[in-house]
Homo-oligomer: A and B are copies of this chain.
Amino acid sequence: MSILDLRIDPDRLRADFEDIASIGATGEGGVTRLALSNEDLAARAWFANRIEDAGLVLRDDPIGNISGILPMTASPTDRSLLVGSHLDSAINAGRFDGAVGVCAGLECLRTIQEAGLRLPVNLEVINFTDQEGAWQSMLGSRGLTGRLGDLTANRDTETLSAFRAALHRTGIIVGDLHEMYQATRPPEQVAGYLELHVEQGARMYRSGQRVAAVSGIVGRTTYLLTFDGVAGHSGTTALDMRRDALRGASAFITEAHDTIAQRFEGGIFNCGKVNVQPGKFNTIPSRVTVLCEVRHPDETVLEHMEAHLLGMAGNAAARFGLTLTDRRVQHMPAASMSGAMVGHIETACARLHLPRPPHLLSYAGHDAQMLAPFAPTGMIFIPSIDGISHNPAERTDWEDVVLGANVLLHALIEAAQNA
């Protein structure tokens, strides 16, 4: 059989996919596998078993990334070409997000192994820790690439204690958070990174595209905004004496959505979490915290959006006699995919007699965003039905998953041959 005819085993991939989808399955057909939760631990154990079943070399690192190596060179710890994604999920999220990339990566390695293909670099399928940010977004890929920054910055003591406890419970660290900095690999040890992922948007589904090459990933900045007013009895505090933190926060949320949509083309705003204190129906809210984010493919425009957002929050606070405190919780810089990797994906599509894949920008963050400045990185997108994601109704046609896995297989072989 020619290498050109090599294909993954769709039934074996499907069995793995269904297995992982059953871990943390929710009533509505989604999954909840928050990083370091019991469900995530079960998924990790399952993945380690699958790696060993496949005869790959199991590897883990001090930040909990789990990988399986198909050795091609003298030692399994030599330089490797990474392929994978993440098995953790958001709350009651979709079964495809992340899991498709890990399962397909594993299936690619098994397929190459069974074909007896010799390549000049080790292949390594990897499950990155906490991509979704139950604790800290893209923790594993940041750790591997030396981009952890200060793990304690902008976090309160309680959150850090809980984080440490969760890491201890999983056995990822036994002492201090600092142990995780040991996960960083020298860049020369990583030949590249490929990730297959569902688009999570509706562009491909709407236009009938089945495979796309990601050109870049938008930058994202998360803010925690705190509006502080004065509590008071809602019945007796005269209107002119009220400093209602929720009025300021609500006005800001409404205005931010309207303004970002109008002024910043390609910009995204979301406010996903609001906390109201003291939280009683008959007490004027004294403090409201708003967790929100902005995204844009251009770092300069993103900075502009951030400044505009803080200005709007400040104005809303001033209008209702509130004080505003802002905390830039996290910044994920915009990233470009490697031209070489995009080329390998195009080559793979050509081999599979597919049209030349469109180049799409990703509006979601991915581990590839962290790998991109570190090693040649490429991403393959397959369509999400109706663009639904982070929702139990997230779906991708199974045929597209198989097709994406085969594109991944050939892109991986191409990348390895050119590594």
A interface with B by C-beta (< 8 Å): 90-93, 97, 132-133, 199-203, 218, 220, 222, 230-239, 241, 244, 246-247, 249-251, 253-254, 257, 261, 268, 270-274, 276, 278-286, 288, 291-293, 295, 362-365, 384, 386-391
Which of the listed residues A230, A235, A249, A261 has the most CB atoms from chain B within 10 Å of its own CB?
A: A235
A-B residue pairs in contact (CB < 8 Å), sample of 25: A90-B278, A90-B280, A90-B282, A91-B280, A92-B278, A97-B233, A132-B282, A200-B233, A200-B235, A200-B236, A201-B236, A201-B238, A202-B238, A230-B391, A232-B387, A234-B390, A235-B365, A236-B362, A241-B386, A244-B257, A272-B283, A274-B276, A281-B293, A282-B365, A286-B391
- CB atoms of A272 and B261 under 8 A apart: no
- Measured CB to CB, the closest approach of chain B to A260, in angstroms, equals 10
With A90-B282, A218-B235, A272-B284 given, name 19 new contacts (CB 8 A). Answer: A90-B278, A202-B241, A220-B235, A230-B388, A232-B389, A233-B389, A234-B270, A235-B363, A236-B384, A237-B389, A239-B261, A241-B386, A241-B387, A246-B272, A270-B283, A272-B276, A272-B278, A272-B280, A286-B391
Instruction: Name the residue on B nearest A203 (C-beta).
Output: B238
A30 to B99 Cα, complex, angstroms: 51
Inter-subunit contact B390/A232 (CB<8 Å): yes
Closest to A295 in B: B235
Question: How far apart sit A235 and B199, CA to CA, in the bound complex (Å)?
Answer: 10
Number of copies of this protein chain within its complex = 2
Contact (Cβ within 8 A) A234 B278: no
Q: Find the residue from A244, A261, A362 having the highest chain B CB count within 10 A.
A: A244
Given A232-B391, A235-B364, A272-B285 contact (CB < 8 Å): yes
| A391 → chain B closest CB, angstroms | 4
List residues of chain B with CB within 8 A of the CB of A251.
250, 254
Return the 8 tightest CB-CB contacts between A and B, nearest first. Answer: A234-B270, A201-B236, A200-B236, A235-B363, A235-B364, A250-B253, A233-B389, A233-B390
